[in-house]
Amino acid sequence: PWIIAELNRVLVWRWIKDRTSNDLSLPNERRCSDAAQRMMTIMLPTFEMVMPLPPYPPAWPTLRDQADYPIWAAAVVGQAHYVISENTRDYPPRGKDGRHAHEGIEYLGAYAFLNRLAADQERNHQSEG
């Protein structure tokens, strides 16, 4: 629920800013709702629902934003490989390999994650051919 709530918050805010010039009229509210429902219809089959409760698993020492602890906990409990976020100031410190990862969970921005998926798909396609 924490990750879905954060995703919803970010996407709604961006939708309002990018598509409506901050027009909060009823027709735009309906369009935003329709877009959110389409997104959830596509994504829901891929979700594994986890709901970690405090006390949360320990995070990296430099994580200061209390609102990010439930996100971290959901990633740990859900055995995620990635957390996708544009909030780079709260990423784990960069490791020797250049990645922002903690306990095997890597933090990436959306574009970096999509590029990683595309590269993985290309490698898989080449190995099959």
Q: What is the pLDDT of residue 129?
A: 65
- What DSSP designation does 4 have? H
pLDDT of residue 82: 94
Query: Which pLDDT value is given to residue 45?
Result: 84
pLDDT, tens digit, 9 for 90 and up, residues 30-44: 888 888 888 788 877
The gap from C-alpha 62 to its chain's centroid, in whole angstroms, comes to 20
pTM over 0.75: no
Query: How much is the pLDDT for 8?
Result: 75
| Contact between 1 and 51 (Cβ < 8 Å) | yes
- The pLDDT of residue 1 is 61
For residue 34, the one-letter residue type is D
The two structure tokens encoding residue 26 = 């009823």
Intervals of the chain under pLDDT 50: none
Q: How far apart, in whole angstroms, are the C-alpha atoms of residue 107 and residue 109?
A: 7
What pLDDT, on a 0 to 100 scale, did the predictor assign at position 101? 98
CB 36 within 8 A of CB 7: no
State the Cα angle at 24 between 37 and 109, rounded to 5°.
Answer: 55
Return the pLDDT at 2. Answer: 65
Supply the pLDDT for residue 63. Answer: 96
End-to-end distance of the chain based on CA atoms, in angstroms?
Answer: 40
57 φ/ψ sector (left φ>0, alpha ψ -120 to 50, else beta): beta
